[in-house]
Every structure is written in structure tokens, then in C-alpha cells.
Amino acid sequence: MAEAGLAAAREERTRARAEGAALQAQLANLRLLAPVDGVVTLREVEPGTTVVAGQAVVEVVDPATLWVDLRLDQVNAGGLAAGLPARVVLRSRSGEALAGRVLRVEPKADAVTEEMLAKVVFDRLPEPMPPLGELAEVSLALPPLPAAAVIPNAAVRREAGVVGVWQVRGEGELRFVPLQLGASDLDGRMQVRAGLAAGDEIVVYSEGALRAGRRIEVVAALDGGAK
């Protein structure tokens, strides 16, 4: 009888330990531990809501990982590389330029918008932390471009899917010339890498439609306009 009672007590102890471990596991499930230190930017559920494993409860952002998504026209992206210095002006802090740098350049460009994608980080995190999704203006000190001929952006045309300009030859005869273009600037000029030579005359503006072989009259100024 004594041995039977001892065995029963041992089984009861084992059962109690198992129940205690189960309760400890349930208690641990009531605590949510973030994998990183950060700021809660979004609460997905309300207090008292039942959640399941794998369900998002809150969104936590580590301020040290903040970056600015930069989109740059492929034509003007020459020299874009990681480590390039940048100046960031947040929409909410107009006039205050924050120092930063290019963290990385994405290996895949946007084929629809023809833009290069990059991430710019702050050298020193702004305080208070700006709201996520805020617009920002980024200025980069790209390496200087090699010297090249430039033409007005207004002269560039697209004919049958080909980019070029209308060149004036001889006594006003037109010919469409495909071009290989480079970077553009804020003054409305664009580099010409191939297709034109120094001294070539091109059409910047025409009131009528242009076609190859047509003869035009070249004027220095439009009626009522400045030369």
C-alpha cells in the first residue's frame, strides 16, 4: 500500500509540473516582444482582441533605419553610386537642409518611368522623427559630366518612336536626324552625345507640321515675340 501511494504521489507531481509548464507557456504568450527597439507607428488590433500566431499586432519602426526613396531619371543618373553625399529637405522643414548620403542604388530600374531607384539615409537622424511617408527633396553632387554639345529641349521630337531633331540643310530642306541624348539641366538644355556636329542648324519651333524633304523659311523671331 505504501509503494502504491508513493507511485500515485509521483504521478500527481509529474502531472502538476506539466500543468505548471503549460500555464507558464500560456503566460509567456501574453507578452509581445519586439525584435528591435523602435517607435510604434501603427496598431493593428484593439485591446481585448483575440489574435493568432503570425498575425500582425503593431508596426514598429527602428529610427536608425529611416531612409528616403529617391527616383532619378536614367538620363541624369550618371555617376549615381553608394556613398555619394546628399542634401535632404523635408517638406515639413522647408529651408532646412539635412546632410545625408546614398545608401544603395537598386540593381533594377523602373522600366515604366525610366527612372533609377536609390535609398538615401541621414548622417544624423532628425529630431523629432519625421512622419513616415513625408515627401522630401534630395540634392546630389553628381560627378561633373564631360563637355558636350547642347540643344534646347524644345527642339527634341519623336518620329515613329525615334528620338531626334529636324535638321535644316542646304536652302531650308528638312531632314529628321536621330540623336543619342545625354543629361538635361534646369535651363532647358540637353546634351547631344551623337547625331549632330558643330554648326548644324536645327528647328527649335515650327507653327506647322514638319516632314522630310519639305523646305522651310528660317526666321530669327516670331511675330510679336522676342528674338
**pTM score:** 0.53
Cα–Cα distance, 227 to 1 (Å, whole number): 120
Fold: same for 63-140 and 145-222: no
Query: What are the pLDDT digits (tens) for 39-52?
Result: 888 888 888 888 88
* Lowest-confidence segment of 24-28, 83-87, 126-130 by average pLDDT: 24-28
End-to-end CA, the chain: 120
Report the distance separating Cα 7 and Cα 29, nearest Å. Answer: 33
Beta-bridge mates of residue 150: 191
Domain at 63-140, CATH class: mainly beta
Residue that wins the pLDDT comparison between 213 and 201: 201
Where in the chain are the domains? 63-140, 145-222
145, 184 contact by CB (below 8 A): no
Residue type, 169: R
Q: Please tell us whether the domain made up of 145-222 is placed in CATH 3.40.640.10.
A: no
- % residues pLDDT > 70 (the chain): 91
Higher pLDDT, 83 or 7: 83
State mean pLDDT over 4-11.
74
Which has the higher per-residue pLDDT, 192 or 78?
Answer: 192
pLDDT at residue 1 in the model: 56
For 21, phi and psi rounded to 5 degrees?
A: -65, -40
